[in-house]
Amino acid sequence: MSAQPSLSRREFLYYIWASSMALLMAEAGGAILWFAYPRFKVGEFGGTFTIDVKDLPMPGSTPQAYDAGRFWLVNVDEAAVTDPRHPPGFEPQPGLLALYKICVHLGCLYRWMPGNNCFECPCHGSKYLKDGTRVRRPANRNLDRFVIRALDTAGKVLAETQAGDADADPTVGQPIPLPAGTAVLQVDTGKRIQGRRNSGPDMVKD
């Protein structure tokens, strides 16, 4: 049986160098994944916000702004559902929803205007009804919204926003009625639903 050839000094150094480079690349890749992987705390944008049921807006009340979570919490009542400014086919159901505070046109911060009973973007004039329906261009879709969950005292989910594609299914992202036994509402700002495309006529003028 012939003896195995021994490594030369050059080959030995090459293998050491290759092993070191492989280890370095693995560590670098791990570091990138560590920093890239989202790690959000409760009450921090990208994470979840828990709101006691007693602190929720009442039906028909003014939308509540939650700046830390970048959302408006809205309680859509029957008056908002039957608002005649809705384009045909865009009427919501009553209930609670959380609207992302960024205008879908070019990313400005819109605001609630009580006098006009709608959200308005100060940058380019887009307007949205209380439930987030776009009623004035240049925006061409409804406001984005976050998934919310109604939980009881044991943490059981009693109701949850339907996720998915709002263009394919108009029930996606609709407000959720607050079931009996709800103790807290959880807003998940890590789960955003893109607003439904809306190319209807401008229902609100200046």
Task: List, in sequence order, every residue forming a beta bridge with 185; answer none if it has no partner.
Answer: 51, 150
Over residues 54-58, mean pLDDT = 96
Which pLDDT value is given to residue 205?
A: 79
Which distant-in-sequence residues (6+ apart) come within 8 Å of 105 by Cβ? 121, 123, 124, 126, 138, 139, 140
What distance in Å separates the CA atoms of residue 67 and residue 12, rounded to the nearest whole number? 60
- The b-or-e profile of 96-110 (16+ CB within 10 A means b, else e) is bbbbbbbbbbeeeeb
Q: Is the pLDDT of residue 37 over 60?
A: no
pLDDT value for 43: 59
Residue 170 has pLDDT above 90, yes or no: yes
Query: Average pLDDT of the chain?
Result: 88
| pLDDT at 41 (0 to 100) | 58
Q: What is the mean pLDDT of residues 127-153?
A: 97
If DSSP states are collapsed to H, E and C, what string results for the chain?
CCCCCCCCHHHHHHHHHHHHHHHHHHHHHHHHHHHHCCCCCCCCCCCEEEEEHHHCCCCCCCCEEEHHHCEEEEEECHHHHCCCCCCCCCCCCCEEEEEECECCCCCCECEEECCCCEEECCCCCCEECCCCCEEECCCCECCCEEEEEEECCCCCEEEECCCCCCCCCCCCCCCECCCCCCCEEEEEEEEEECCCECCCCCCCCC
Q: Average pLDDT of 149-173?
A: 97
Model confidence at 131, pLDDT cuts 50, 70, 90, reads: very high
Rounded Cα distance, 142 and 100, in Å: 11
Please choose, from the candidates 178, 148, 179, the residue with its C-alpha nearest in 3D space to the C-alpha of residue 163: 148
Q: What percent of the chain has pLDDT over 90?
A: 73
Average pLDDT score over residue span 75-79? 96
% residues pLDDT > 70 (the chain):
79
Determine the average pLDDT of the residues in 185-191.
96
Tokens of 158: 């009693």
pLDDT at 204: 87
Residue 64 has pLDDT above 70, yes or no: yes
Residues 185, 56: contact at Cβ < 8 Å?
yes
Q: What is the mean pLDDT of residues 124-142?
A: 97
Q: Would you say residue 115 has pLDDT above 60? A: yes
